């Protein structure tokens, strides 16, 4: 097998270790130009295949790349974070990055104040990739830079891909219960609602998915209701495209599951519109939509015909309808 490692050069797979060792060494001791060339080649190698990614990590590539995240050379910084992103596509290397001292700090510092928009966006994509490791979500969520930096990128990223990477990171953080109130406290609900209402953002369903996760905590449920977005959620449920209808349904169900009686009463105010749509979804909806429609229907109907407070038997659902696909390597 032959693997391309530069614009012209090709080497046999058997020689890849020697190439990787040499390139990683250049990152530590080479001149500025040699470092620039080496990190560009490592970026290409890490984009190639699983074996190359594992090989670069095995010869110390992760540790050698981290200092470059703090460089004042914008191109080198972007190449370094993109190489880490490409390495993280390999599940085993992804775990190794989470276990490498200084990796999280360096990536989040770059996400917060990187030298270029592209570097910040690829840092967000790297965070999203690392958050696939479930045990890492609490550590990332506790870091004071993580949530504010992702929210700021969602607010200001110049590209759709950058905003989408930010919202993917927020979604995976919000799957961990302890992170839900943290996202809410940083103003996450307001920004997500704003993004959801901008149909041209192309992030309506992604925003709904994060809101559904946040609604499962009391703070999130309160913030969603206080954002006066319930009419919009009901409108999406009744007239939106199929995927958006399912995601709006997930938010409404989560509000009833995660909020108190006051939140439930606000949702129940729209019973007359919600229940008729749920009946339709029970017939023509996807399996996921039917399941959630049945859950919400049972909650609304039982409480509509009874003066009792909400049932204490609500069960949380971890299926938010988000695209959980792994990140892809970037050129």
pLDDT tens digits along 67-92: 999 999 999 999 999 999 999 999 99
pLDDT average, residue stretch 175-203: 96
Q: What pLDDT is recorded for position 50?
A: 82
Tell me the two tokens of residue 298. Answer: 């049972």
In a domain, 200, yes or no: yes
Which domain-ending residue is among 81, 101, 121?
Answer: 101
In a domain, 68, yes or no: yes
User: What percent of the chain shows pLDDT beyond 90?
Assistant: 82
Say if residue 12's pLDDT is above 70.
Answer: no
Say if residue 328's pLDDT is above 90.
Answer: no
Judge if 216 and 308 occupy the same domain.
yes
Q: What pLDDT is recorded for position 304?
A: 59
pLDDT average, residue stretch 35-43: 96
236: containing domain: 177-324
**Helix, strand, coil percentages, rounded to 5, for the chain:** 75, 0, 25
Instruction: List alpha helices for 177-286, DSSP H.
Output: 179-185, 188-197, 204-214, 218-226, 230-239, 242-258, 261-268, 271-284
Between 37-41, 156-160, 313-317, the lowest mean confidence (pLDDT) is in: 313-317
Which domain-ending residue is among 53, 77, 101?
Answer: 101
In a domain, 125, yes or no: no
pLDDT band at 2 (very low <50, low <70, confident <90, very high): very low
Judge if 182 and 317 occupy the same domain.
yes
In a domain, 3, yes or no: yes
Q: How far apart are CA 34 and CA 21, in angstroms?
A: 14
Judge if 63 and 183 occupy the same domain.
no
Say if residue 118's pLDDT is above 70.
Answer: yes
* CA distances in angstroms from 200 to 140, 195, 251, 290, listed in the order given: 30, 9, 21, 28
pLDDT digits (tens, 9 = 90+) for 210-248: 999 999 999 999 999 999 999 999 999 999 999 999 999
Which domain-ending residue is among 40, 73, 101?
Answer: 101
In a domain, 65, yes or no: yes
Prediction pTM value: 0.88
Q: What pLDDT is recorded for position 1?
A: 36
Phi, psi of 10 (to 5 degrees): -125, 145
pLDDT average, residue stretch 118-143: 98
Phi, psi of 269 (to 5 degrees): -60, -25
pLDDT band at 327 (very low <50, low <70, confident <90, very high): confident
Say if residue 316's pLDDT is above 70.
Answer: no
Quick one: which of 132, 115, 131, 130 has its CA closest to 80? Answer: 115
What's the chain's length in residues? 331
Judge if 189 and 73 occupy the same domain.
no
Judge if 319 and 181 occupy the same domain.
yes
Phi, psi of 3 (to 5 degrees): -125, 130
In a domain, 305, yes or no: yes
In a domain, 157, yes or no: no
Cβ proximity of 320 and 276 under 8 Å: no
Report the number of distinct structural domains present in the chain. Answer: 2
In a domain, 186, yes or no: yes
The domain that holds 279 is classified in CATH as 1.25.10.10
pLDDT band at 322 (very low <50, low <70, confident <90, very high): low
């Amino acid at each position: 097998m032959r693997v391309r490692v530069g614009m012209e050069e090709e080497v046999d797979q058997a020689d890849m270790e020697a190439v990787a060792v040499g390139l990683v060494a250049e990152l530590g001791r080479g001149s500025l130009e040699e470092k620039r060339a080496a990190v560009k080649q490592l970026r290409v190698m890490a984009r190639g295949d699983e074996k190359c990614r594992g090989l670069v990590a095995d010869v110390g590539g992760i540790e050698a790349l981290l200092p470059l995240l703090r460089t004042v050379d914008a191109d080198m910084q972007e190449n370094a974070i993109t190489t880490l992103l490409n390495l993280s596509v390999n599940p085993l290397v992804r775990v190794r990055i989470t276990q490498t001292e200084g990796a999280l700090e360096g990536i989040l510092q770059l996400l917060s104040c990187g030298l270029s928009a592209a570097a910040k966006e690829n840092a967000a994509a790297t965070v999203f990739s690392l958050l696939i490791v479930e045990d890492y979500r609490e550590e990332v969520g506790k870091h004071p830079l993580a949530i504010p930096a992702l929210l700021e990128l969602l607010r200001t990223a110049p590209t759709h891909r950058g905003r989408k990477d930010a919202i993917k990171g927020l979604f995976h953080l919000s799957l961990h219960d302890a992170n839900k109130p943290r996202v809410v406290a940083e103003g996450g609900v307001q920004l997500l609602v704003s993004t959801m209402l901008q149909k041209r953002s192309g992030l309506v369903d992604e925003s709904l998915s994060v809101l559904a996760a946040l609604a499962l905590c009391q703070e999130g449920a309160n913030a969603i209701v206080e954002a006066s977005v319930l009419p919009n959620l009901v409108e999406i449920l009744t007239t939106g495209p199929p995927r958006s209808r399912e995601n709006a349904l997930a938010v409404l169900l989560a509000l009833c599951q995660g909020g108190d009686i006051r939140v439930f009463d606000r949702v129940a105010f729209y019973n007359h519109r919600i229940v008729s749509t749920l009946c339709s979804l029970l017939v023509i909806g996807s399996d996921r939509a039917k399941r959630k429609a049945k859950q919400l229907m049972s909650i609304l109907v039982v409480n509509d015909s009874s003066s009792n407070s909400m049932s204490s038997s609500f069960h949380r659902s971890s299926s938010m309808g988000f695209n959980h696909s792994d990140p892809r390597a970037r050129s």
